[in-house]
Amino acid sequence: TWDPIAKAYYWHRFFSHQPDLNFDNPNVLKAVVRVMRFWFDMGVDGFRLDAIPYLCEREGTSNENLPETHAVIRQIRAQVDAHYQNRLLLAEANQWPEDVREYFGDGDECHMAYHFPLMPRIYMAIAQEDRHPVVEIMQQTPEIPENCQWAIFLRNHDELTLEMVTSKERDYMYRMYAADPRARINFGIRRRLAPLMENDHERIKLMNSILLSMPGSPIIYYGDEIGMGDNIFLGDRNGVRTPMQWNADRNAGFSMANPQKLYLPIIIDPEYHYESVNVENSERNQSSFLWWTKRIVSMRKRFKPFGRGDMEFLPSDNPKVLAFIRKYRDENMLVVINL
């Protein structure tokens, strides 16, 4: 992109307002580390390293997964470890598990990495009532260093990406979860979890039960714990980025500002209206989805096999049954899920 002030072109992999930094310049790396340390000192627990495979560039390459990128990550990790404890670097690399494995290094690069291919296969398994998509991708997932962990999720602030599925599987997902063309963007679906499940709380519980029993650390996107809806009329991915719904007060308790000054409007769709779907209402009702989420997360924390254990799938003649054992030391947990 041409910059009229500098009178020069600059390189950007994504949007023009996101210029790529030159990490070959040691002063750039020092500046980035300085910014990271500022936020760590403010109390931030970790950073998501967005699109990390494209950190460095080299002529004649796709600029993806370069050795130089891993060298930069190791330098950043060394700085984090030298000054802080219990802080996190989370790799966002939308790739196959065997490729993402490299971003753990020898336990000296990222602490965690998103497991992108698992996510759409949980949706496929539910829609098809067939365990095969989940079993197949988990069997393809390599071992990682002992001090590292996968980040598993159902939704995030972007579209439900379908880059890690075949074109046939993508078409199937569109038919099942994005019949409305407005829900489709790039290679994905721009809806929240509750609308994707047609606000069926039993199906949402089933999805979360699978997620919370899988190897890795589950990430729950804000608002999904109360069944928040989205706004399909907002542009790009903004429909799933609306303000958190805390209560039925002005602006859903998110801000006392003039509603026109909010970064995005509050959800007022009748089915997901902030006056009914909010944290305060959910806290009062112990049969709410929020309380169910609290209980199942608490149960997961009680049993170490879910957090650190191995996984052994059990055979079944019925494809609708997903059964496996989670093992950690002398503790075994049997999980049986009716898809």
Which pairing describes strands 184-185 and 188-189: parallel, antiparallel, or unpaired?
antiparallel
Residues facing residue 335 across a β-bridge: 324
Mention every residue, 6+ apart, whose C-beta is less than 8 A from residue 18.
12
Instruction: Compute the radius of gyration of the chain from its Cα atoms.
Output: 21
109 assigned to active site:
no
Which pairing describes strands 149-153 and 217-219: parallel, antiparallel, or unpaired?
parallel
Strand residue runs (E) in the chain: 2-3, 8-9, 46-49, 88-91, 112-114, 149-153, 160-161, 184-185, 188-189, 217-219, 310-313, 321-328, 331-338
Residue type present at position 156: N
On whether the CB atoms of residues 104 and 149 are closer than 8 A, the answer is no
Q: List the catalytic residue out of 92, 109, 224, 225.
A: 92
Which of 235-264 are b and which e, b meaning 16 or more Cβ less than 10 Å from the residue's Cβ?
eebbbbbbbebbbeeebbbbeeeeeeeeee
Q: List the catalytic residue out of 50, 64, 68, 108.
A: 50
DSSP-based three-state secondary structure for 1:
coil
50 assigned to active site:
yes
Helices (H) and strands (E) in the chain, counts: 11, 13
CA distance 146 to 136: 23
Would you please indicate which residues are annotated as catalytic (active-site) residues? Answer: 50, 92
